[in-house]
Structure 1
């Protein structure tokens, strides 16, 4: 039996246990929405695996809107295009994609192909393009270990980044999934301040009363540092790329996506540090 539109009241959240997905799920449920938080580890109709297309149709049954995160593989756009098209064909009316701020593509390369896949799906779409998450420095991110050791060792130079709070990303996602006026929008999401890694270390040190310093290193030095601390080589390579963009100030500008989507100012990094410091997360 075909599912009718009136029955399509669930909201699908891919990566429902992830950094943004669990926040989107929690906020939707708090506001009274029915949510299907999907992941590889879930069971029944909430089980979803980008690499197992047999999980795709069941996870879409009864869904009217979906929050999408890609597979993080080189061919992520291929699976995203197929899934987004299937979602539209199955009656999903809204797709909200967690993307990222763009980069300069290689010759002949699509700039952000997963975005194109969602735009061409046939459903209403909204794109979220966040800066670095403030939560990368908490227990949810790799850099907490360095902070506990008292030193941020990163190849970011004196570059600036407008860190955005993952709670703001979730609020924008929920607005786009449940409210009007967001279709066709590409929201660049940032916090209210441009900060260097030195400023990040200083803010955390001030809030915790601990000695925390920032030591800028070159990419080869960071590679050696990562190897010495047991980090996977592909992860270190990715970090060198991302921190290189910060070092170059590639995205060192504030965005107004939070303001446009929510009608308020974004949360600041200093506010995040004060909230997080009281939990003792940087005291081991």
Structure 2
């Protein structure tokens, strides 16, 4: 049996839906019944409630499991949560964890300059030292981060993408592609001790990103480079907690120091997954980009 944690989040829910689409039985761990509602009724999906931080709540979830796909929210407790969960998995006798990790696509990006990537590295090391068999899947920035409502997404009212990163490139990846690759990895053997980086099929400037959005929506969107201070002010106006705003500031600052981005689609190719372009993503989400 395969267990997927973080099953109600953006990546986790996409992965659970992909298991269902492929008629592969999977157990999905959730904390909130309300958040799990969209997953109810999916073919072959067994929903189990539990908390990754509380080993005593995971007995049912881990029973009969031989493979775990570990995902949790990228919040201030991500490292604590995944450390505790790895230890609980080992104690339960489950032999293998694949970690959905993360890696910036900027060439030379220092993962220790940004809390999110730093914690992914630290969790990977904890997993590698655990004695469990492991695999790391490291996608780059999600294309969904450009949708309205995301902190680094477009402003649908202004029809603007406002970011303090100048003309740098990023290589965002579609979450649906991540789901297809993750399911393929979990259904196959021979990946123990391997780490796979994963990006979208092209390195794009923010000007090119908004050009794709404009073409998909038939409406002109504009990229507006702003200062870090101005972006922080916008975060405060949105009510973003100061500590979280500072974390995003560190990410954006480090991105701006590394203007070129690599493209890694080898793992797509290994499993016959055609990489989704940003133009295709924008077409698929055209209505979402136009929402007010």
TM-score (norm 2): 0.82
Quick one: distance in 2 between partners of 1:178 and 1:67?
11
In structure 2, the residue matched to 1:178 is 187
Deviation at 1:85, TM superposition (A): 3.5
Quick one: distance in 2 between partners of 1:211 and 1:249?
28
Deviation readout 1:249-284 (Å, 9 max, x if unpaired): 27711123433542444211111112222xx21222
Q: Within the alignment, does 1:18 sit opposite 2:25 as a pair?
A: no
Quick one: distance in 1 between partners of 2:96 and 2:149?
29
CA 1:250–1:143: 2 relative to 1, 3 Å? closer
Quick one: distance in 1 between partners of 2:231 and 2:147?
20
In structure 1, the residue matched to 2:282 is 273
Quick one: distance in 2 between partners of 1:25 and 1:251?
33
CA 1:146–1:244: 2 relative to 1, 3 Å? same
In structure 2, the residue matched to 1:6 is none
Secondary structure of 2:99's counterpart equals strand
Structure 1 stretches of at least 4 aligned residues deviating more than 6 Å after TM superposition: none
1:49 corresponds to which of 48, 51, 56: 51
Secondary structure of 1:186's counterpart equals strand
Indicate conservation of the 8 Å contact 1:245/1:251, yes or no. no
In structure 2, the residue matched to 1:163 is 172
Secondary structure of 1:191's counterpart equals coil
The number of equivalent residue pairs is 271
TM-score (norm 1): 0.84
Indicate conservation of the 8 Å contact 2:200/2:276, yes or no. yes
In structure 1, the residue matched to 2:130 is 121
Quick one: distance in 2 between partners of 1:51 and 1:110?
16
In structure 2, the residue matched to 1:218 is 227
Of residues 223-232 and 197-206 in structure 1, the stretch that sits farther from structure 2 once superposed is 223-232
User: What 5-or-longer segments of structure 1 have no aligned partner?
Assistant: 1-8
Q: Within the alignment, does 1:31 sit opposite 2:33 as a pair?
A: no
Deviation at 1:240, TM superposition (A): 1.6
Indicate conservation of the 8 Å contact 2:156/2:290, yes or no. no
Deviation at 1:186, TM superposition (A): 0.7
Deviation at 1:91, TM superposition (A): 3.4
Quick one: distance in 1 between partners of 2:129 and 2:272?
28
CA 1:94–1:244: 2 relative to 1, 3 Å? same
Q: Within the alignment, does 1:40 sit opposite 2:40 as a pair?
A: no
Deviation readout 1:156-212 (Å, 9 max, x if unpaired): 211110011111111121112111232222111101111111211111011111121
CA 1:179–1:62: 2 relative to 1, 3 Å? same
Secondary structure of 2:28's counterpart equals strand
Q: Within the alignment, does 1:192 sit opposite 2:201 as a pair?
A: yes
CA 1:22–1:218: 2 relative to 1, 3 Å? same
In structure 2, the residue matched to 1:61 is 63
Indicate conservation of the 8 Å contact 2:159/2:222, yes or no. yes
Secondary structure of 1:252's counterpart equals coil
